[in-house]
Amino acid sequence: MEITPVDLREIDKKAANVYEAIIVAAKRARQINDEIKIAYNAQISTIPVSANDDDSEDIMNPAQMKISMEFEKREKPHIDAINELLAGKIEFEYKK
């Protein structure tokens, strides 16, 4: 996966303060990560448990590996959050 730099001037155009915008993106990344965890656990729970009683890590479940690789190929939450911020999909305001 390649590293793509984010121009802070682009973030500055979307928010009054760059640091506040980064905090907002970080909070959104945590929300996205929580959504991914819920979806991952829901899919993993559908896989039948093997009949082996030992908890050895040597046995690989192909169905679990397929789901894990699918989630591994997704964009990382912080990348999604920054893209949402730059696209103007995130709105934030101060609590009063």
Q: Give pTM, 2 decimals.
A: 0.78
Query: CA distances (Å), 50 to each of 18, 45, 81, in order?
Result: 50, 13, 37
Residue 76 has pLDDT above 60, yes or no: yes
Q: What is the sign of the dihedral through the CA atoms of 49, 50, 51 and 55?
A: negative
Whole-angstrom Cα distance, residue 54 to residue 94?
A: 52
Instruction: Give yes or no for residue 53 having a pLDDT over 60.
Output: no
pLDDT reported for residue 56 = 56
pLDDT in tens, 14-47: 888 888 999 999 999 999 999 999 999 999 888 8
Q: Which amino acid does the sequence have at 57?
A: E
